[in-house]
A and B are shown apart, each in its own frame.
Chain A
Amino acid sequence: MNTSSVSKGCFVFKPSSKKRKRTVGIDEYFVDGNDDCGNGRERFNICQKLWEKIKMDTEILQDELNEKILESLLDFIKKCTLSFQSRTDDWASRMRASEIPTAALVLGVNVPDHDMTFQSLSDLLKNSVTPFSVSVQAKECTALKNLMQRVLERLMGVGVSVEEDEEDSGIHLPQKRVSCSISVLCQWYKTVTKKHAMKSPDKTCSENGFLQSPPIVVIFKDFEAFNPRVLQDFILICNRYIHELPLIFVFGIATSPSTVQHILPHSVSSLLCIELFQSLSCTQHLATVIDKLILTSQFPFKLTGKVLQVLVSIFLYHDFSVRNFVKGLQLALLEHFHSQPLSVLCCKKQEARHNAQKLSHKDVEMVRQLPSFMRYVETQEPQEQVQLLTSDDHVKEVCQMLLKGLRKYHKNYYPILRCLHSLTASLPKYPLGKQIRELHISCLEKNVWETNEYESAMQLLRLLAKDELVAALRKCADILKPGKTKKMKSALQQLEDYIIRFEQLDGMSIETLSGEEITSPGKDLQKKTDLFQLQKTLLEMKGSRRTKKMSPFEILRNETLDFIDGLVRSHLTPPELQPLNEVCYYSSSGVLRRHLNATPRTSIQTALSHPFYFLQNENLKTDAGTVSSAAPDICIVYKLHLECGRLINLYDWLEAYATVVSAAEGKDPDAEDYGKVDELKHARFIQSVSELEFLGFVKSTKQKTDHVARLTWGGC
Chain B
Amino acid sequence: SPKKRVTVMLNTVHTQCCLSSLLHQPEQYCYPSIFIYGHRATGKSHVILTLLKELELPHAAVSCVECVSAGLLFEQTLLALFGADSAALLPRLPSLSDFVRVYRQVCAQQPAKQTRYIVLERAELLRDMEANLLPGLLRLQELVDDNVAVILLSEIVWDKFRPNTGCFEPLLLHFPDYTKGKILSLDSNPSYTPELYSSYINILLGVFYSVCRDLRELRHLAALNFSKFCEPLEKGEAKEGNTHKLWRNIEPHLKRAMQTVYLREVSSVQWGQQQMDEKEATALRGLSALAHVELPYYSKFLLIAAYLASYNPARTDRRFFVKHHGKMKKTSFLKKHEKTSNHLLGPKPFPLDRLLAIFYSVVDSRVAPTASVFSQISSLVTLQLLTQVGHDDQLDTPKYKCAVSLDFILAISRCVCVCETKYLFLTFGLWLLT
- Chain A residues with CB under 8 Å of chain B are 83, 91-93, 95-97, 99, 101-102, 104, 106, 108-109, 111, 143-145, 148, 162-164, 179-183, 222, 224-225, 233, 236-237, 240, 254-263, 266-267, 269-270, 272-276, 278, 281-283, 314-320, 597-602, 696, 699, 711
**Interface readout for B154-178 with A: 1 if CB under 8 Å, 0 if not?**
0000000000000000000000000
Complex Cα gap A711–B384 (Å):
27
B69 x A91 contact (CB < 8 A): no
A150 to chain B, nearest CB (A): 13
Complex Cα gap A597–B296 (Å):
15
Complex Cα gap A317–B71 (Å):
51
B45 to chain A, nearest CB (A): 11
- Chain A residue numbers with a CB within 8 Å of B227 are 92
- Chain A residue numbers with a CB within 8 Å of B295 are 109, 320
A269 x B396 contact (CB < 8 A): no
A161 to chain B, nearest CB (A): 8
A225 x B369 contact (CB < 8 A): no
B270 to chain A, nearest CB (A): 6
A273 x B269 contact (CB < 8 A): yes
- Chain A residue numbers with a CB within 8 Å of B293 are 109, 255-256
Complex Cα gap A518–B68 (Å):
94
Q: Which 9 A-B pairs have the closest CB atoms?
A: A95-B223, A145-B68, A97-B220, A257-B287, A318-B372, A258-B288, A273-B267, A317-B297, A96-B223
Q: Which of A148, A272, A318 is within 8 Å of B68, CB to CB? A: A148
A196 to chain B, nearest CB (A): 26
Complex Cα gap A315–B267 (Å):
35
Complex Cα gap A144–B128 (Å):
13
- Chain A residue numbers with a CB within 8 Å of B234 are none
12 residue pairs bridging A and B, Cβ less than 8 Å apart: A92-B226, A109-B296, A109-B383, A179-B71, A240-B66, A255-B293, A255-B383, A274-B267, A317-B297, A318-B372, A602-B368, A699-B396
Besides the known contacts A92-B227, A258-B291, 18 further A-B residue pairs in the complex with CB atoms under 8 A apart = A91-B223, A109-B296, A109-B379, A145-B68, A164-B93, A180-B68, A181-B66, A222-B382, A224-B384, A256-B290, A257-B290, A270-B217, A272-B264, A273-B269, A315-B296, A318-B296, A318-B376, A601-B369
A164 x B223 contact (CB < 8 A): no
- Chain A residue numbers with a CB within 8 Å of B220 are 95-97, 270
**Interface readout for B220-250 with A: 1 if CB under 8 Å, 0 if not?**
1011101100000000000000000000000
B287 x A276 contact (CB < 8 A): yes
Q: Which of B76, B294, B299 is within 8 Å of A108, CB to CB? A: B294
A95 x B187 contact (CB < 8 A): yes
B96 to chain A, nearest CB (A): 14
A224 x B66 contact (CB < 8 A): no
**Interface readout for B284-307 with A: 1 if CB under 8 Å, 0 if not?**
010110111111111100000000
A439 to chain B, nearest CB (A): 20
A257 x B68 contact (CB < 8 A): no
A255 x B285 contact (CB < 8 A): no
B216 x A97 contact (CB < 8 A): yes
Does B371 belong to the interface (CB within 8 Å)?
yes
Q: Which of A102, A108, A599 is within 8 Å of B371, CB to CB? A: A599
A598 x B370 contact (CB < 8 A): yes
A589 to chain B, nearest CB (A): 14
A236 x B65 contact (CB < 8 A): yes
Given known A-B contacts A258-B287, A602-B368, A266 and B219 have beta carbons under 8 A apart: no
Complex Cα gap A102–B268 (Å):
11
Does B341 belong to the interface (CB within 8 Å)?
no
B369 to chain A, nearest CB (A): 5
Does B55 belong to the interface (CB within 8 Å)?
no
Identity of the chain A residue whose Cβ is nearest the Cβ of B189 in the assembled complex: A91
CB proximity to A under 8 Å, residues B344-399: 368-373, 376, 379, 382-385, 395-396
A267 x B294 contact (CB < 8 A): no
Q: Which of B92, B226, B288, B383 is within 8 Å of A261, CB to CB? A: B288
Does B75 belong to the interface (CB within 8 Å)?
yes
CB proximity to A under 8 Å, residues B88-106: 92-93
- Chain A residue numbers with a CB within 8 Å of B66 are 181-183, 237, 240
Identity of the chain A residue whose Cβ is nearest the Cβ of B393 in the assembled complex: A699
Identity of the chain A residue whose Cβ is nearest the Cβ of B300 in the assembled complex: A317
- Chain B residue numbers with a CB within 8 Å of A101 are 269
Q: Which of A97, A225, A282 is within 8 Å of B382, CB to CB? A: A225
Identity of the chain A residue whose Cβ is nearest the Cβ of B219 in the assembled complex: A95
B369 x A599 contact (CB < 8 A): yes
Q: Counting chain A CB atoms within 10 Å of each CB, which of B222, B263, B296, B395 scores highest?
A: B296
- Chain A residue numbers with a CB within 8 Å of B270 are 275
- Chain B residue numbers with a CB within 8 Å of A259 are 384
Complex Cα gap A576–B224 (Å):
68
Does B433 belong to the interface (CB within 8 Å)?
no
Q: Which of A99, A281, A283, A314 is within 8 Å of B372, CB to CB? A: A314
- Chain B residue numbers with a CB within 8 Å of A274 are 264, 267, 287
Identity of the chain A residue whose Cβ is nearest the Cβ of B122 in the assembled complex: A236
- Chain A residue numbers with a CB within 8 Å of B223 are 91-93, 95-96
Given known A-B contacts A97-B217, A261-B287, A278-B290, A600 and B371 have beta carbons under 8 A apart: yes
B264 x A270 contact (CB < 8 A): yes
Complex Cα gap A202–B414 (Å):
61
B249 to chain A, nearest CB (A): 19
Complex Cα gap A320–B396 (Å):
28
Complex Cα gap A269–B265 (Å):
10
B189 x A240 contact (CB < 8 A): no
Does B127 belong to the interface (CB within 8 Å)?
no
Complex Cα gap A106–B288 (Å):
12
Q: Which of B267, B292, B372, B385 is within 8 Å of A275, CB to CB? A: B267
Identity of the chain B residue whose Cβ is nearest the Cβ of A83 in the assembled complex: B269
B252 to chain A, nearest CB (A): 22
A89 to chain B, nearest CB (A): 12
